[in-house]
Structure 1
Amino acid sequence: MPPETDREALLDAALLHVPFDGWSEDAFRAAVRDAGVEPALARALFPRGAVDLAVAFHKRGDAQMEARLARADLLGMRTRERVSFAVRARIEAAGDTEAVRRAASLFALPPYAPEGARLIWETADAIWTALGDTDRDVNYYTKRATLAGVYSATVLYWLGDDTPDAAATWSFLDRRIEDVMRIEKVKANPVVKRLFAGPEWVLNRVAAPRGRGAADMPGHWPAPAPQE
């Protein structure tokens, strides 16, 4: 069986136990047993056990969202509609509220908080990339940081939403995006642009990374060149 098939089988099996055991070692062991995967292979695929399964669960949601956006007719939507559609598609891809709730609790723990933040950043990057964002200056970062905040807040609202078809969540999402668009209008005001002309000149020296997963992302420490 190909490793990718084993990975998917383990994740599917784990999702049956996560509502009861969380993303824990117990859930990982139960998934290994239920999926019929050799324990050594399961540990090779997910070295940190349930933590890596939670990461895989998040990345699966990103992939499903990207597939849905690729099929959608985005050209007929305004920018705010495209962003709203993408965030909703990402949340709907998660599907299992309890698995998301447990993952949120896991990635709120100090040892895993940086990884949780990275996953949310990657989701925001995946959305803007799928929507055709071409900014390569500081706006590359501000767009993703802002969207990461909108996405995180909407997910937390969704976890507590008991309205039919999560109607209150999508209204909340629309309001958050409207707030962001209002800020963008203020930034475009000529008076404001003149006021921030100096800082903007400095910020415009900031460049986006050369590609997704590139080695020049913030916080990356390049390996030193081998010495002769």
Structure 2
Amino acid sequence: MSSVPGKAEQMVSYAVAALAMGVMPAPLSRDSDRDAALHNLAAVAGQRGWGVDVLRDVAGPHADLLFPGGDVEIVEAWSDLCDRMMLDAMQDVQEPRLSRRVRQAILCRLPADDTRRAAAGKAMAVAFAPHGRAAFRRAWVRTVNALWQAARDDSTGVTYLTKRLSLGHIYAMVFLYWLNRGGDAAAMGAFVDRRLAAVRRIGQWKARLVGGLGASPAKAAE
């Protein structure tokens, strides 16, 4: 039987692959009542899970009517709310370097908060179920797109897609690290720095390779 970490890695890899399609999922329904119910549920989800029965307990006997899709819709909506909270927190960031804005957005989206991490772990249990996989992929695509929006990247065309694919891989590694060890903010920051540095090195290597292939034989031999 597969371990929970193994299942999480598999789900995340499928979600990253969904980015290659380059299609944004439809926006979710949003209103203050849904957001308030989600906040109440997220506060206890790490211990009690994301079930509709728990939602009724913490947000009122009719709170389930806000999420007709049940636990899958609840978890997908919570991810969307976390994306929006991250975007709000990034609005006043003045950092001039794109890479540092990306770093800050990732750390804002995945805070060193044990309650948030425990809730995310329980949310993965919903994602593991067959009826939760498509919702998880949609949420992942929205989050990666929101991270680029928060970093104020204005790429278009092929660059738009390749950047999101690259960030999808980075975010996958960081997300899995965060689930297991994300309670240490300094360690989280260092992990993100290593992942971003690795991508930069790959980009520099590709640039040198392309430059070498485009140079004259005499120039390339120098």
TM bin (shorter chain): 0.7 to 0.9
Deviation string for 1:15-63 (max 9, x for gaps)? 2442233223xxx223224322526xx32x2112222111121111111
Q: Counterparts of 1:44-123 in structure 2 under 5 Å?
A: 45-75=66-96, 78-92=97-111, 96-123=116-143
Q: Is the 8 A contact 2:46 2:122 kept in 1?
A: yes
CA deviation after TM superposition for structure 1 residue 117, in Å: 2.1
Partner of 1:21: 48
Distance 1:135 1:31 in 2: 40
Distance 2:41 2:88 in 1: 23
**1:132 is the counterpart of 2:156:** no
Partner of 1:143: 163
Q: RMSD in angstroms over aligned alpha carbons?
A: 2.5
Distance 2:44 2:144 in 1: 28
Distance 1:8-1:93 versus aligned 2 partners, 3 A rule = farther
Deviation string for 1:88-145 (max 9, x for gaps)? 1111297611101111232233332232122122111112123222221211111111
Q: Is the 8 A contact 1:120 1:152 kept in 2?
A: no
Distance 1:61-1:183 versus aligned 2 partners, 3 A rule = same
Unaligned segments of structure 1, at least 5 residues: 197-228
Q: Which amino acid aligns with 1:35?
A: A
Equivalent in 22, 29, 38 of residue 11 of structure 1: 38
Distance 1:65 1:134 in 2: 18
TM-score by length of 1: 0.71
Unaligned segments of structure 2, at least 5 residues: 1-29, 215-222
Equivalent in 175, 179, 186 of residue 205 of structure 2: 186
**1:152 is the counterpart of 2:172:** yes
Aligned residues: 184
Identity fraction in percent: 31
Q: Counterparts of 1:169-184 in structure 2 under 5 Å?
A: 169-184=188-203
Distance 1:98-1:74 versus aligned 2 partners, 3 A rule = same
Bigger helix share: 2
Q: Is the 8 A contact 2:50 2:75 kept in 1?
A: yes
CA deviation after TM superposition for structure 1 residue 162, in Å: 6.5
